[in-house]
Structure 1
Amino acid sequence: MDVLLIAVLFIAAYLIGSVSTAVWLGKAFYGIDIREHGSGNSGATNTFRVLGKKPGTAVMLIDIFKGWVATSLAGLLVTFEGIAPENLVVFQLIMGALGVLGHIFPIYERFKGGKGVATLLGMMLAIEPVVALMCIAIFVIVLIASKYVSLGSITAALAFPLLLLLPRFHPENPILIIFGFILFAVVALTHRKNINRLIAGEESKANIRIGRKR
């Protein structure tokens, strides 16, 4: 086991996750700090709400991509014989989690980030692409039907471990299912205020109509 290579890639995964897409896009193209508007969150949900469909979609896709990249770094450990191939999934989970952690607590933006759902989807896309794509489809359907990004995020996060319980998708390594439920718990925790607003009927709907901004 190559401890130095592992440490370097762990740090790289966190730094990739720390790329604050919503903050940088908002400042570069709209002249605003997304954290000073809407819910104050620097993720896709608040970007949809404040800036609209196009920037919200861009933030979501880039955040998914960075989660995929952070997780996929684990493949380098196998390529350079830093770990045994049978340990790949474990290190994918660790590196993906570091990417999500970076999104929630980005070092570039004083550790004030988003809620990590899109980055989490990117992580799962790298590990279980078919199930992850189904979760993304579930997110889109719920978003279009309800216009609540938070509801779509929570539903998609829960769908991942539940789908893995099905015989067709059941992975050989049960740690993936356990980790899926843990990550869903983290998503629910970071969305606790949204859940309370959804229950109270006070959650803001996303602006997903083309050409409209708030």
Structure 2
Amino acid sequence: MISIYSVSALLFAYLFGSIPTAVWIGQAFYGIDVREYGSGNAGATNTFRVLGKKAGIAVMLLDIFKGYTATNLAYLIGLSVTGPQNSVQFVNYQLALGITAVMGHLFPVFAGFRGGKGIATLFGMILAVQSEAAMLCVLTFVIVLLISKYVSLSSILAGFSFPLSVIFIFQSPIRSVVLYGMSICVLILVTHQKNIERLLKGKESKVNLFKKK
């Protein structure tokens, strides 16, 4: 059942996801548009690279918050629309809201539709829908980052760990969650195409989290 409330929530999810945290923080506190430096990407990774750890952490946390909050808008919609909490219909609506927020991050209306790669916002969405699998993604990300110091590689492998954990470890009974997890892999491969090329050529930049800047 489609209502004006559910449609309005989807619109709000897109607008909330469209908040270009990396661009606004860079311009407000550093006088820099991060899209003009580094990889040219308006995300947490490039913010770490261009503006340093403090700004990068702030952008990452805010982008996670965007995905988590937008996905949980489902709780504000009447049960007549979403069905009981944790039902297939409810989770499907959560996924719809989260995906809409991620699209807002990728193509933000507030920043000329030039956004980031959506990893942090995707994580916020995963955290809202399947928190246990999200924690496994974090563990994968941290381990790979500590070993390789490649944020892009860590993000890619963390993203791939989600559908694997949902299918083989947590065995989610909701098919849409499994399909969503598989679609994450495709999205990550598409948005990280240049990073993958640089990784294969040995030209990808490394990040030292313990280096002061």
Q: Which TM-score band applies after superposition, normalised by the shorter structure? A: over 0.9
Name 1:177's counterpart in structure 2: 178
1:109 and 1:90 mapped to 2: Cα distance? 29
Equivalent of 2:106 in 101, 104, 107: 104
Letter paired with 2:171: H
Equivalent of 1:148 in 121, 137, 150: 150
Provide, for residues 48-99 of structure 1, a one-character-per-residue CA deviation record: whole Å limited to 9, x for no partner. 11122221121111111110001001122245x3332231010111110001
Name 2:203's counterpart in structure 1: 202
Equivalent of 2:94 in 79, 92, 95: 92
Provide, for residues 112-139 of structure 1, a one-character-per-residue CA deviation record: whole Å limited to 9, x for no partner. 0000001000000000011101102211
Aligned-residue Cα RMSD (Å) equals 1.3
Name 2:17's counterpart in structure 1: 17
1:100 and 1:211 mapped to 2: Cα distance? 31
Kindly state the Cα deviation for residue 192 of structure 1 after the two structures are TM-superposed.
0.4
Letter paired with 1:83: T
Give the % identical residues: 50
> Aligned runs of 1:1-214 on 2, under 5 Å?
1-79=1-79, 81-85=80-84, 86=87, 87-166=89-168, 168-212=169-213
SS of 1:73 mapped into structure 2: helix
1:83 and 1:161 mapped to 2: Cα distance? 24
**Structure 1 unaligned blocks of 5 or more:** none
Kindly state the Cα deviation for residue 210 of structure 1 after the two structures are TM-superposed.
4.2
1:21 and 1:142 mapped to 2: Cα distance? 25
Letter paired with 1:33: D
Letter paired with 2:82: I
Scaled by the length of structure 2, the TM-score of the pair is 0.94
CA contact (8 A) 1:48 1:207 kept: no
Provide, for residues 123-156 of structure 1, a one-character-per-residue CA deviation record: whole Å limited to 9, x for no partner. 0000001110110221122222222111111111
Kindly state the Cα deviation for residue 165 of structure 1 after the two structures are TM-superposed.
1.4
SS of 1:171 mapped into structure 2: coil
SS of 1:12 mapped into structure 2: helix
2:211 and 2:75 mapped to 1: Cα distance? 39
SS of 1:112 mapped into structure 2: coil
Scaled by the length of structure 1, the TM-score of the pair is 0.94
Kindly state the Cα deviation for residue 206 of structure 1 after the two structures are TM-superposed.
2.1
CA contact (8 A) 2:74 2:82 kept: no
Letter paired with 1:82: V
User: Does 1 or 2 have the higher relative contact order (CA < 8 Å, sep 6+)?
Assistant: 1
Kindly state the Cα deviation for residue 207 of structure 1 after the two structures are TM-superposed.
4.3
1:156 and 1:56 mapped to 2: Cα distance? 18
CA contact (8 A) 1:43 1:115 kept: yes
Q: 4+ runs of 1 displaced by more than 3 Å?
A: none
